[in-house]
Structure 1
Amino acid sequence: MGWRMPSETAAHERTWMAFPREGITLGDTDAEREEGYATWTAVTAAVARFEPVSIVVDPTETARARRMLPGEVTIIEAPVDEFWMRDHGPTFVVDDERPGVLGAVDWIFNGWGAPDWAEWQNSAEHARIVAAEVGAELISSTMVNEGGGIHVDGEGTVLLTQTVQLDPRRNPYADRARIEAEMARTLGATHAVWLSQGLTRDYDDLGTNGHVDIVATITSPGRLLLHDQRAASHPDHAVTAKLRAELEGQTDAAGRRFEIVSLPAPETLTDAHGPVDWSYVNHLVVNGGVIACGFGEERADAQARAILAEAYPGREVVTVDARGLFARGGGIHCITQQQPAVTR
C-alpha cells in the first residue's frame, strides 16, 4: 500500500470533532463546564461555515449537543471520555495508486503518556468508529502517537518532537529509526524533521509533552510558520529561539531549506498557573478558510490574522476565542481532524 497523508491545505470532505462531556477536562464548576461547552460549540460553528462537520457525542450529552450545535452538524453517538479528536481519533490518509480509497491510521492512544488523571479508554476507540462510519480502510499502528504530534507537507516531510514520539511513557523501546519507519508506512513520510522540545507549559501535568502543532506548521512545501515568543521574561523566548536554530539547519523531503515565518505570540504571558502557551500556530485550515485562535487581544489577534492570510492566500481567516481551549490543554487544531476529499 502506498499511503500518504495529504497536506491540511488539500481539499476536505469534512472535519471531525468530539463533543465535551463532564469530567476533569471540562472542569469542576458550572461556569467552567459552560465555558467548555460554549468554546467547543463556537469552533464547530466556525468550521461548519466552510465544510461539513461530524461530531462524536457521548449519549449522556446528546440532548445538550443537539441544543447547542448548528443543525447541519452530523452527530454520531458513541462513548466519550477525552474530546481532543486530533489526538485520539484517526489520522486520514490516501493511496495515490488507488484513487477514491481513504485510509484511517489508528494510533495507540494512552492519554498523552498515561498520566494518573487521564481517562482515555472510550475515546481510544474513536478511530475505528470513525473509520467504519466513512468506509475508510483501517491502518493499525503499534506506535503510541497523537495527531497533534505530527505535521506533514503532503510531499514526504513530517515534523516530529523528540519528547513526544520518543517519550518513554509512550514508546519506551522506540528509537528514531523505528519511529521514522512507521511514519513512512502509515503516512508516506520519507523525511523526518525532529524538534528537540515543545513549549514550556506543554510539560505540565495536563500537557502533551511537546506537541508540534502548537509550535510549528508547514503552510506550503518549504515554508514554515513558527511560534515566536518575543518577551524575554517568558521561558518560551529561549525555546522558540532554539527551535528556530534547529529548523534553520534542516531541509524538507525535496531538499529545500525552510523559509521560516514568525508568528508572534499574544502579549499575555501568564495566567493563574504560570507561563501560558497561547499560540496562533494551533489553527485549522479548512476549505476556503482558516479557523484561527483568538485570545481577546485586538492588536495581536489582528496581526495573526494578517500573517495567516498571507500564508494561505485566497482563504478567509476567522478568529474564534480559544482561551477556553488552552485553559484545558490545547487549541483549535487539537479538537479537530480533517478528512481529505477523495474521488469515489
Structure 2
Amino acid sequence: MTWRMPAETAPHERTWMAFPREGFTLGESAADREEGYAAWTAVAHAVAEFEPVSMLVDPTEVARARDLLGDGIAQVETPVDEFWMRDHGPTFVLDADRPGVLGAVDWIFNGWGDPEWSEWRKSAEHARFIAELVGAELVTSTLVNEGGGIHVDGEGTVLLTETVQLDPRRNPYADRARVEAEMARTIGATKAVWLPRGLTRDYDDFGTNGHVDIVATLASPGRMLLHRQDDPSHPDFEVTRDLRTQLSQETDAAGRAFEILDLPAPAEIRDDEGFVDWSYVNHLVVNGGVIACGFGDERADAAARDILEAAYPGRTAVTVDARPLFARGGGIHCITQQQPAVAR
C-alpha cells in the first residue's frame, strides 16, 4: 500500500464538520452560544453551495442542528465534545497502487496536548467512526497530530511546525526523523518543510501551539500562500517576516524553490484578549470555490478574495465572517475536513 494525501484542490466527495455542543468552547452566555452555533452553520451553508456537507451531531444538539442546518446538510448523530473537525477527524488518503481505494488516517488526538480545559475523548473516536461510515480503510498512527498541523501539495511535500509535532505534550519521544518517517508512511510525504513556530496568539492557553494552517498553505506545487502582518507593533510582524526569509530558502519535494504569495492580515490587530491571529490563510478550498475567512474589514477581505482567486484559478472566493471562530480558537479550515473523490 502506498498512501498519498491529495492536495486540497483535488476533487472532493464532500466536506465533514461537527456541530457545536454546549460547553467551554461554545461559550458561557446565551449570546455566546448563539453566536457559535450561527458561525458553524454559516460555514456549513457556504460549503454546501459547492459540495455536499456531512455534519456529526451530538445527541443533545439534534433538534437545534435540524432547525439551523435544514434539509440540505446530512446530519449524523454521534457523541461530540470538541468540534474542530480538521484536528480530531480523519485525514483522508488515497492508495496509489489501488485506484478507487480510500484511506482514513487516525492520528492520536489528545486535545492539542491535553490541556486542563480540553474535552476531547469523544471526538477522538470520530476518525474511526467516519472511516466506517464511508467505507475507508483505517490507517492507524502512533503519532499525536492534528489535521490543522499539516498542509500538503499532493506531490510529496508537507508543511510541519516544530512546536506542534515535536511538542513534548504531544510526542515526548519524537524527533524530526521519526515524524518524517510517519508522514511518509501515512500520507506519502517525501519532503518535510519545518516551520520553527506559528503565530503568537496560537501559544496562548487555548491555542494549538503553532498550527501551520493559520500561517502557510500550498496553493499548488511550488506555490505557497503566507500570512503577512504589516503592523510593526504586532508581534507577528517579526514572526511572519522571519518565516518568509526562511521559507524563501526552502524547496519542495521536486526540488523547486517556493513562489511565495503574501496574504496580508486585516487592519485590526487586537481584541479583548490581546493581539489577534486573524489570518486569511485559514481558508477551505472546495469544488469550484474557496471559503474565505472574513474579519469585518471590507478592503482587506476583498483583497484576500482577489489573491485567493488568483492563486486558485477557476474558483470563486466567498467570505464568511470568521471572527466568532477565531474567538474560540480557530478558523474555517479548522472546523472542516475534505473527503477526496475516488475513481469509480
Aligned equivalents of 1:243, 1:298: Cα separation in 2: 27
CA–CA distance in structure 2, aligned partners of residues 331 and 315 of structure 1: 20
Distance 2:323 2:142 in 1: 34
Distance 2:180 2:254 in 1: 17
Q: Please say if 1:304 is aligned against 2:307.
A: no
Q: For 2:72, give the aligned amino acid.
A: E
In 2, are the aligned partners of 1:90 and 1:106 still within 8 Å (CA)? yes
| C-alpha distance after superposition, 1:230-264 (max 9, x if no partner) | 00000000000111111011100000000000000
Distance across 2 between alignment mates of 1:196 and 1:297: 30
- Give the counterpart letter for 2:316 in structure 1: E
| Aligned partner of residue 246 in structure 1, secondary structure | helix
Helix, strand or coil: the match of 1:183? Answer: helix
Q: Structure 2 matches for 1:102-181, cutoff 5 A?
A: 102-181=102-181
Which residue pairs with 1:191 in the alignment?
Answer: 191
Question: 2-side partners of 1:197 and 1:161: how far apart?
Answer: 6
Q: SS in structure 2 opposite 1:38?
A: helix
Q: Tell me the residue number matched to 1:229.
A: 229
| Residue 30 of structure 1: aligned partner | 30
Separation (CA, whole Å) in 2 of partners of 1:72 and 1:127: 23
For residue 70 of structure 1, report the CA deviation from its aligned partner.
Answer: 3.4
Q: Deviations over 1:206-251 (max 9, x none)?
A: 1000000000000010000000000000000000011111101110
Secondary structure in structure 1 of the residue aligned to 2:292: strand
Is 1:213 the counterpart of 2:250? The answer is: no
Alignment of 1:39-78 (within 5 A): 39-78=39-78
Q: Which amino acid aligns with 2:153?
A: D
CA deviation after TM superposition for structure 1 residue 7, in Å = 0.1
Match of residue 324 from structure 1: 324
Match of residue 11 from structure 1: 11
1:71 offset after TM fit, Å? 1.2
Q: Give secondary structure in 2 for the equivalent of 1:118.
A: coil
Partner of 2:285: 285
Q: What is the TM-score of this pair, normalised by structure 2?
A: 1.00
Q: Identify unmatched segments of 5+ residues in structure 2.
A: none
CA-to-aligned-CA distance 1:260-296 (integer Å, 9 cap, x gap): 0000001000011100000000000000000000001
* SS of structure 2 residue aligned to 1:250: coil
1:45, 1:70 within 8 Å by CA — same for their partners in 2? Answer: no
Structure-2 separation of matches of 1:277 and 1:31 = 23
Structure 2 residue identity aligned to 1:260:
I
Aligned CA-pair RMSD: 0.4
Deviation at 1:118, TM superposition (A): 0.4
Aligned counterparts of 1:14 and 1:136: Cα–Cα separation in 2:
14
Q: Which amino acid letter does the alignment assign opposite residue 171 of structure 2?
A: N
Structure 1, unmatched stretches of 5+, are none
Contact residue 20 and residue 36 of structure 1 kept, 8 A: yes
Partner of 1:86: 86
Q: Distance in 1 between matches of 2:189 and 2:99?
A: 19
CA distance in 2, matches of 1:42, 1:79: 22
The normalised TM-score by structure 1 is 1.00
**Would you say how many aligned residue pairs link Structure 1 and Structure 2?**
344
| Residue in structure 2 matched with residue 267 of structure 1 by the alignment | 267
